[in-house]
Amino acid sequence: MKVAFNRIKITPKDYIGKPMAGYARKDPCLGKLDDIHAHGVLININNGNNKHNLLLISVDILKLPLSIVEYIKKRLILKFKLLKPDDIFLHATHTHSSFDLTGEFYYPGGALAFIKGVMFGDNKNDKFIVWMTNRIVRMVSKLFEDLEPCTIAWKKESFNPDIVINRRWPTRNVLPDLGIIAFKKLEDSKLIGIIINYSCHPTTLSFKNNKLSADFPGRVISKIDDLTSGSIKAIYFNGPSGDLNPITTSGTNLEKIDKDITLSYDQLGTYKHTKKIGYTIGEEALKVAYSIPETDYSTFTEIDIYTRKLLIPQKDAKYYSSVWLSNKVKWIIKKYILFKIARFDYKFVNFPFFTVERKNLKNYGKTLVHFIKFTTSKGNTFGIITIPGELFEEIGKTLLSHAPTKMENTLVFQNSQDWIGYLFPLEMYIKEGGYEPFMCFSPLCGAYIENAAKKFLKEIKDKS
């Protein structure tokens, strides 16, 4: 078993003036707080007949829709013949202070400009996407060169020293898992690098920020660099955090926030908060990695990758509640106006933000869910569930409880391989509504993906 870590800067020289994603800002990028990167880890198994390469890539971008993921994969497979499509996993850290790749945020000027971007959502940033992909290919080439024999171990702990809040339900006791997958050199047991998995929206910087930044995930990596003088590499993957926001200016009086929810939604965090949260997570991640006993380390004998392709119907739920009218108006506007005008078709658009399949005269959102199962030489197993959107906390916990490798041995990587929207519980949509339904391919995305993923995980469990 071998591993290699690497990263490459994807901040272009012409970053000033590029549209930024995540908020309906009035201005494009006006400066830089820190660089954005693509991070990669390559795991290689060459055990007799069992030969496998697993490539995990995390990019400091708001989202990577399926069309862009497929383009990057094709470029990688063309260059590296050992890689297969299911060996490659691309993740967007979801920083709200990086570039728009899909057109929604192209036009400056607020909410109406955002709607215009959705309606005429052909991407205006193809040049950057191609350049970024070239950089990723270069990074992966270095990964293959740097592979070295290693052992692996993992650990999870609940961690929230007043840095994360559930913006929908502020009084909930939010305890995200901090998951660590650690790799040591086979020859001298020194740490090579760590995979970090935590759950928090990268929105420490508010809509008033017009400067490029990887947000707190970037500061997590920089802190580990500082603490280890660059000797230990790190890569960050966001967990279920569709409704989990950083605590910047809201304070920690949860009862007060519950009475005035705007305190959570309208936080105007600064770069000081970005560094505080990132450094806090980075320090703890390193502590967790160092705390893993030597006896827990072993080598891989097998990696199994399972894929479930999904078609999500473009329809609304059947219900009636106090928010029914508000939700219905939003959905009707989106389905019968925005979707009719927007060109979600490869014939017209290079990189649409949803991949739509036409079937029986109806539109379906095409996406996929993965489960990666690792088996070590000691017979231990752990797994990674990849989800194509912003998974709400509640669904994330449900999927972990259905994992074939048990909750304590399983991580969830959201915004991986695709972005099809906010993935919220159907009950929340029916009772509360809100802006999340407007952002999704369908209000049913969360329910469909939750149910399909649970069934998928059960099938894997039954085969084991």
Cα 284 versus chain centre, distance: 20
- The mean predicted confidence, pLDDT, of the chain is 92
3-state helix, strand, coil in the chain (%, to 5): 35, 30, 40
Is the pLDDT reported for residue 65 higher than 90? yes
Of the candidates 321, 319, 316, the residue with the CA atom closest to the CA atom of residue 334: 316
Residue range 6-33: average pLDDT? 94
Instruction: Please indicate whether residue 338 or residue 125 has the higher confidence score (pLDDT).
Output: 125
| CB distance 335 to 437 below 8 Å | no
Residue range 231-256: average pLDDT? 97
- State pLDDT tens for residues 425-444: 999 889 888 766 667 889 99
Q: What is the DSSP string of 60-108?
A: SSS---HHHHHHHHHHHHHH-TT--GGGEEEEE---TTSB-SSSTT-S-
Of 65-69, 107-111, 138-142, 147-151, which gets the smallest average pLDDT? 107-111
CB atoms within 10 A of CB 109: 13
pLDDT of the residue at 340? 66
The CA distance from 310 to 307, in Å, is 10
pLDDT of the residue at 385? 98
Beta-bridge partner residues of 101: none
What is the residue type of 395?
I
The CA distance from 96 to 207, in Å, is 8
Of the candidates 68, 58, 128, 52, the residue with the CA atom closest to the CA atom of residue 92: 58
Place of tokens 């079937």: 359
What 8-state DSSP symbol labels residue 298?
B
Phi, psi of 275 (to 5 degrees): -70, -40
Residue range 324-352: average pLDDT? 70
- State pLDDT tens for residues 446-460: 999 999 999 999 999
pLDDT band at 360 (very low <50, low <70, confident <90, very high): confident
Place of tokens 């469909």: 448
pLDDT band at 352 (very low <50, low <70, confident <90, very high): low
Collapsed DSSP state (helix, strand, coil) of residue 262: helix
Of the candidates 124, 2, 114, 122, the residue with the CA atom closest to the CA atom of residue 52: 2
Strands (E) in 239-299, as ranges, are 244-246
Q: Two tokens at 145?
A: 């060169």
Instruction: Please indicate whether residue 329 or residue 293 has the higher confidence score (pLDDT).
Output: 293
Q: Two tokens at 45?
A: 């198994």
Of the candidates 129, 206, 140, the residue with the CA atom closest to the CA atom of residue 4: 140
- Burial of 17-26, coded b for 16+ CB within 10 Å and e otherwise, reads ebbbbbbbbe
- State pLDDT tens for residues 299-336: 988 899 999 999 999 888 889 999 999 888 888 888 87
CB atoms within 10 A of CB 344: 19
The CA distance from 144 to 260, in Å, is 52
Is the pLDDT reported for residue 416 higher than 70? yes
Q: Two tokens at 419?
A: 């972005």
pLDDT of the residue at 437? 65
Is the pLDDT reported for residue 341 higher than 80? no
Is the pLDDT reported for residue 28 higher than 90? yes
Residue range 140-160: average pLDDT? 97
pLDDT of the residue at 346? 47
pLDDT of the residue at 53? 93
Of 54-68, 120-134, 387-401, which gets the smallest average pLDDT? 120-134
Q: Two tokens at 138?
A: 């270069």
pLDDT of the residue at 345? 52
Place of tokens 């005269």: 361
pLDDT band at 405 (very low <50, low <70, confident <90, very high): very high
pLDDT of the residue at 69? 96
Which helix (H) or strand (E) covers residue 380, if one does? none
pLDDT of the residue at 344? 52
Q: What is the largest distance, in Å, between two alpha-carbon atoms of the chain?
A: 64
Which residues, 6 or more positions from 322, have their beta carbon under 8 angstroms from its beta carbon? Answer: none
What 8-state DSSP symbol labels residue 337?
I
Residue range 140-153: average pLDDT? 97
Is the pLDDT reported for residue 117 higher than 80? no
Of the candidates 156, 155, 149, the residue with the CA atom closest to the CA atom of residue 184: 149
- State pLDDT tens for residues 180-226: 999 999 999 999 999 999 999 999 999 999 999 999 999 999 999 99
